[in-house]
Amino acid sequence: MVTPLSWGEEPWSISRKDPLTNELFVGVRASQEAQSVLYIFLRFYQKYLSPLDASRCHYKPSCSTYAYEAIKKYGALLGILMSLDRLMRCHEGQKERPYDPPQIY
């Protein structure tokens, strides 16, 4: 149900009181919650699990830092996809340590 506009409110302005426009913010909030859960997981991995295995990443920045930066810059879904792509490219036979920041190709 659409509520009538109050005086001084433009028809194209986004009002948080209007139930129709509140739906626009649900996706943003869900994405921020997903990002915060992923940040907690990545920080836990970096602080507790990664030191047990020693530094094996063949890229700079490390794969976990790459994932953190990609999620921060591109959002949860695209950041996860970019991180998975990076993990598939990382292998033991690689001798050099190339610099590979998160970017869309």
Domain boundaries, the chain: 19-89
**Is there a contact between 75 and 51 (Cβ–Cβ < 8 Å)?**
no
What confidence score (pLDDT) does residue 82 get?
92
> Nearest 5 degrees, angle CA 36-CA 27-CA 4?
135
Res 5: pLDDT: 52
Q: What is the DSSP letter of 99?
A: B
CA-CA distance, 20 to 2, in Å (whole number)? Answer: 7
pLDDT, greater one: 49 or 21 = 49
What is the average pLDDT across 3-18?
54
pTM above 0.75, yes or no: no
Supply the pLDDT for residue 48.
Answer: 92
CB atoms within 10 A of CB 4: 5
Pick 31 or 62 by higher pLDDT.
62
- For 97, residues 6+ apart whose C-beta sits below 8 A from its C-beta are 58, 59, 60
